[in-house]
Structure 1
Amino acid sequence: MAELKIGQRVHSVGDCRRIGTVKYVGEVEGYSGEWVGIEWDNDAQGKHDGSVNGVRYFQAKSATSASFVRPHKLSSGISFLQALDLRYRSTSTKEEEDEMYVLSATNRRVSVQLLGKDKIQNKLNCFEDLTSASLFYLGVSSCGPPSELSVSVPNLKELDLTGNLLSEWEVELLKDSLPLIEELHLMGNKVKNIQPTSSTTVQGFIHLRLLNLEDNCLADWNEILKLSHLQSLEQLHLNKNDLNCIRYPDNVAIQKLASGCESFEKDIVPFQNLCCLLLGGNNIGDLASVDSLNSFPRLTDIRLSGNPVSDPGKGGIARYVLIARLAKVHILNGSEISPRERKDSEIRYVRSVISELQGNQEVIKQRHPRFFELKTYHGIEDERPSSQATVPQKMASGLLSITLKCVGASIGEKPPMTKKLPASTTVGKLKNLSGSFFRFKAIKPRLFLQEEGSPLPLVLDDDMASLTEAGVCNDSTILIDEEN
């Protein structure tokens, strides 16, 4: 095989699913000959972290993700056309077919005959008739000459290259050889950079509707912007990458992207047809990234779960805040937003901002771009402190109707209870009140806010926060558990 290089993607010979990256090539102290240091994609497939007998050769991501392997036990992959042959033209041997059987009622072997097998096989052998190809985990490392592809599979519309070795953006070679491609899946190839061949943005792919780049190594949003002029793109899957921000390209960015591109048209709207953007499991932590999603003209389906910005336990924001900040979203984190949930979320959000910032308009404009729009739309007035002479005194935040449900095992089965409480009631005060309401004394309660559409309830762990500040609104449901 060809000499292996640092950074090259390989898999174990005989096991295309055991994939890794070359981190070292050379001698290992105490062992003869040449060795290749591999960091495996699966952390559990290695034996160490890149050091052996006290000598460090490279630093792996975990204590068991690295191995040293002989070069002849590694494969640098095959071409796209070789993978097609392997997947669709390989035939089962007589020995394999003889082993295809079921057991009868008397425990005797009854041979299985696949009806229509030859007809199906003949159809698959005609690559020019293929409209869909699944080449997942076959060790594909190169696309091959475009001229050969265009002759071999001219009608291909869907292509799955999940779990292969295409770490470089060689897939752009497919744009001319596969002119009808509509869906392209590149999950788990560990692509780091998107490198267009003829300009600063990816061109061609005029029919591409879905591009799946999940579980790769994309860390810079500028790389994603190189896809911004794929005019047919409707779904972009970017889950499980290393992205830490989202930005819609402004005029300056568009001009930079367009520089050197003769075919660029200034009136083209970037990502103009993108309606689904999946960003779960990245490192996005800033609210500006959330707000920038409103700039995508048709974006209605968004996934942000698994990011710091959407994890309240890591200082992120709750589901209702995401809904309020995202004007066009219909589906958030795989859950549809009902008109009732949107209305409640927006009202709740406006009231929480009013309570938190006490009418500081400059700060509100800076931190909450949709606040004034939502406040006007829902007809919400600023809260005014009530006069001491007013009888009866009106509470500034009014009363909230809250349903309390006990879920703690030690509390016992108790019917839910609905109470009206001042919005200024603190979480700590509600904990104390819940003990009185349900008559438990020795149990230390823990409160959770159950939000519509959210898969997990939100823990209320700031005892000093008011119910409004904690995101509780009218008709909210609070679960009462017990501390571990």
Structure 2
Amino acid sequence: MSPEGSKPGFQVDQRVQSVKAEKTSSKQLGTVKYVGPVEGYDGLWVGVDWDTGLGRHNGTVNGKHYFETTTKESGSLVRPNSLSTGITLAEALIERYNASATTTSSGEDGMYVMSVRQRRMTVELVGKDQIEEKQKHLEDLKVVILAYAGVCSAGPRGQVGGLAPCIKELDLTGNLLPDWNAVGQICDELPLLRVLNLSCSRISMDAESINPALSNIQTLVLNNCHITWQQVDQLKLSLKSLEELHLCGNNIRTIEASEHGAPGVFVDGFELLRLLNLEDNNIVDWAEILKLSKLKSLEHLNLNSNGLEEVLYPVLDPSFEEDKEAKKSIPFQNLRCLLLGKNKIARLDSVDALNHFPSLKDVRLSENPLVDGAGVNASRFLLVARIGNITSLNGSEVKARERKDAEIRYVRYVLNSVLGQIDDSVLKKHPRFLELKAKHDIPMESAQSGAALASHKMSASFLSVTIMCVSLSVGEKAPVTRKLPSSTTVGKLKQICEGLFKVKAANQCLYVKDEDTPLPVALDNDLESIHDLGLGQDSVILVDEAKGH
């Protein structure tokens, strides 16, 4: 991009790109905040607030304040010839695709690596000639990537459509499009366009500038665009074909819903939206998420890294019972995948709420206090047993055998915890207990009272465990039976096994052998206690040695 593109006059709030990098090895994007003279210096200066925050000051130079900045060091005063106001999409296409076929054909401008003697060694990319020849034909391009290319407009009407009419996917990450009119003009020029990436852009939102040409877009990516949900809501009438919407990293805090142009409780519109990505925002209140519960086509909802502390299913929320309109449709009726990783969920009742989502199959709960040791430290079997229909947990498939094993262990875990004394408080804490007990035909322990119950409680604090070593390197060893406190962790158990069989704890693989399951179950979390794992009296532990040791 040549500096000539920066000669037209600059205006406040105009988007610009640096021609010469400042503090970075790549070009920066920013917004013009000041145009005029600077005391003590000749000529015209442009004050820019850089998106990266990598500037020189806060808009104040030599004690005089010229403009406001986002951060203390995101501002710079630069000469006009250091900035570009951008080029058209047509110019960017020609520069990126047609020019690349000629400029990379020579060894000097092509791909290379440096040898140990710091000599340039030309690298020939397999299939490079065929790719370059194909890229020369702009009219055949279907996928176009123009990230940080300085695109500020579609250009003259008919030009882009004439050059590359077959584009279906267009990546315009980090460009200079000023408003949705400019975006709409591009979509109007490219009627086959279905996937549009506008991440890292600062597109002005004006209801009057939203162009109906957006109606062909099926996937829209607006990551790191400083956009609010209210602004997204303004776009919905123009996005009637939208199936995927990505809004990562926008610091969204609330879902400002509206119905038919008036403020509403639930988000409407987006009739075809299947996937909504809200990862890395700042939505901490589950009440905001409930506003999405009437999106009938929504199948995949990504809420990773938001600071959420709980999960509620609407019918379990008392306020939902009072809302007659909300009860007309099943909440989250088609939601199949819910990603909740890296949040602040710490209570098991949030897990129980997930069991009420009617179509839920895939859940992510990793890196929450609930499972990472900072809170309840819930074992995988507890999560699988409490959420009845999931087939994938934390990215790992839940097979039928694992589900059966988990549910049986869970019922025994509850029985061991309460010594067979099941009352309303227990059932409230374990909503699926009776269902799973009946499903697997597990007998209830007989109730005890008085001194017998006290004695049982004392003995139940210790578990009789038989430990068998099956490692080939150790040879045949007689099983050993020990009475262990129910609070004994897997890590402590490994230390005990090291003393018994001389297999280093770090090299051990422990398994529990259960008569109700055909295969042993791995004990792979050193922080879990044998009580948390659902082990009962006379359990059998198998000690093996990891491969390679």
Correspondence for 1:348: 409
Amino acid paired to 1:254: F
> Residue type of the partner of 1:92?
E
In the alignment, what sits opposite 2:368? 307
Note if 1:378 corresponds to 2:424.
no
What CA distance in whole angstroms lies between the structure 2 residues aligned with 1:171 and 1:200?
16
Q: Does 1:439 align with 2:502?
A: yes
Are 1:101 and 2:167 an aligned pair? Answer: no
Deviations 1:201-221 (A, max 9, x none): 111111111111111111111
* Residue aligning to 1:457: 524
User: Identical aligned pairs, as a percentage?
Assistant: 30
- Which residue does 1:44 correspond to in 2? none
Q: 1:34 to 1:146 in 2, by over 3 A?
A: closer
Distance in 2 between residues matched to 1:372 and 1:247, nearest whole Å: 22
1:154 offset after TM fit, Å?
2.4
**SS of the residue aligned with 1:200?**
coil
Cα distance in 1 for partners of 2:374, 2:510 equals: 13
Structure 2 residue identity aligned to 1:68? E
Give the equivalent residue in structure 1 for 2:235: 174
Give me the whole-angstrom Cα distance separating, in 2, the residues matched to 1:234 and 1:97.
42
| Alpha-carbon contact 1:215-1:240 (below 8 Å) kept | yes
CA apart distance, 1:15: 3.0
Q: Equivalent residue for 2:394?
A: 333
Say whether the 8 Å CA contact 1:35–1:69 is kept in structure 2: no
Specify which of 249, 256, 263 is matched with residue 195 of structure 1: 256
Following superposition, the deviation at residue 381 of structure 1 comes to 2.2
In structure 1, the partner of 2:118 is none
**Paired residue type of 1:134:** N
Change (3 A) 1:348 1:242: same
| Contact residue 229 and residue 252 of structure 2 kept, 8 A | yes
1:409-448 matched pairs, under 5 angstroms: 414=474, 421=481, 427=488, 430-431=493-494, 433-439=496-502
Post-superposition CA distance 1:72-108 (Å, at most 9, x none): 68xxxxxxxx999759975417765542226499969
Given candidates 166, 177, 181, the residue that maps to 1:123 is: 166
* In 2: Cα distance, 1:178 partner to 1:252 partner: 34
Deviation track 1:449-476 (CA, whole Å, cap 9, x = no partner) reads 6799x99931146xxx5x3444457676
Q: Which has the larger displacement, 162-171 or 96-105?
A: 96-105
Instruction: Give the letter aligned to residue 340 of structure 2.
Output: L
Q: Partner of 1:92 in structure 2?
A: 95
Give 2:28's match in structure 1, choosing from 7, 15, 39: 15
Instruction: Name which one, 1 or 2, has greater alpha-carbon Rg.
Output: 2
For the 8 Å contact 2:382–2:410, the answer to whether it is kept is: yes
Q: CA distance change for structure 1 residues 423 and 239 in 2, over 3 Å: closer, same or farther? A: farther
- Report whether the alignment pairs 1:214 with 2:275: no
Partner SS for 2:338 = strand
Structure 1: 5+ residue stretches without partners: 5-11, 40-66, 74-81, 259-263, 389-394, 407-411
Aligned to 2:74: 69
**In the alignment, is the contact (CA less than 8 A) between 1:203 and 1:230 conserved in 2?**
yes
Q: Give the match for residue 324 of structure 1.
A: 385
1:33 aligns with 2:65: yes
Question: Unpaired runs of 5+ in structure 2?
Answer: 1-10, 15-23, 31-49, 79-84, 113-120, 142-163, 168-185, 453-458, 513-518
CA pair 283-19 structure 1, distance change in 2 beyond 3 A? farther
Residue 30 to residue 115, structure 1, CA distance change in 2 (3 Å): closer
Q: Quick one: distance in 2 between partners of 1:107 and 1:364? A: 71
Alpha-carbon distance between aligned partners in 2 of 1:293 and 1:200, rounded to the nearest angstrom: 22
Give the one of 223, 226, 229 matched to 2:288: 223
Query: Cα 1:247–1:196, aligned 2, differ >3 Å: closer, same or farther?
Result: same
Query: How far did 1:267 drift?
Result: 2.0
Q: 1:115 to 1:404 in 2, by over 3 A?
A: farther
Q: Counterpart in 2 of 1:9?
A: none
Evaluate the alpha carbon distance shift between residue 435 and residue 242 of structure 1 in structure 2; reply closer, same or farther with a 3 A threshold.
closer
Tell me the amino acid that sits aligned with residue 458 of structure 1.
Answer: N
SS of the equivalent of 1:153 reads helix
Number of matched pairs: 412
Q: Is the 8 A contact 1:192 1:216 kept in 2?
A: yes
Q: Provide the rounded CA distance (Å) in 2 between the counterparts of 1:315 and 1:401.
A: 27
Superposed, 1:461-476 pairs within 5 Å as 467-472=530-535
- Please report how far the alpha carbon of residue 142 of structure 1 lies from its aligned counterpart in structure 2 after TM superposition: 3.9
The one of 241, 253, 257 aligned to 2:319: 253
Q: Aligned-pair distance for 1:335? A: 0.7
Contact 1:83 1:140 in 2 (8 A): no
Residues 163 and 188, structure 1, Cα contact 8 Å, conserved in 2: yes
The answer to whether the 8 Å contact 1:239/1:278 transfers is: yes
Residues 178 and 284 of structure 1, relative CA distance in 2, 3 Å threshold: same
Q: TM-score, normalised by structure 2?
A: 0.62
Aligned to 2:217: 156
Write the distance in 2 (CA, Å) between the matches of 1:383 and 1:68. 68
CA distance in 1 between partners of 2:346 and 2:66 (Å):
44
Number of the residue aligned with 1:280: 341
In the aligned structure 1, how far is the partner of 2:199 from the partner of 2:400?
40
* Higher mean C-alpha deviation, range 311-320 or range 86-95: 86-95
Contact 2:59/2:69 (8 A) holds in 1: no
How much has 1:237 moved relative to structure 2?
0.7
Deviation at 1:360, TM superposition (A): 3.3
* Alpha-carbon shift at residue 20 of structure 1 (Å): 6.4
Measured after TM superposition, the shift of residue 185 of structure 1 is 1.0
Aligned partner (choices 302, 308, 316) of residue 237 of structure 1: 302
Which of 295, 298, 301 is the equivalent residue of 2:359? 298
Decide whether aligned partners of structure 1 residues 189 and 376 sit closer, same or farther in structure 2, where only a CA change above 3 A counts: same
In structure 2, distance between residues paired with 1:166 and 1:83: 22
Tell me the distance in 1 between the aligned counterparts of 2:375 and 2:326. 42
Q: Aligned equivalents of 2:362 and 2:287: distance in 1?
A: 22
- The structural deviation recorded for 1:68 is 1.9
| Change in CA separation of 1:268 and 1:28 when aligned onto 2, cut-off 3 Å | same
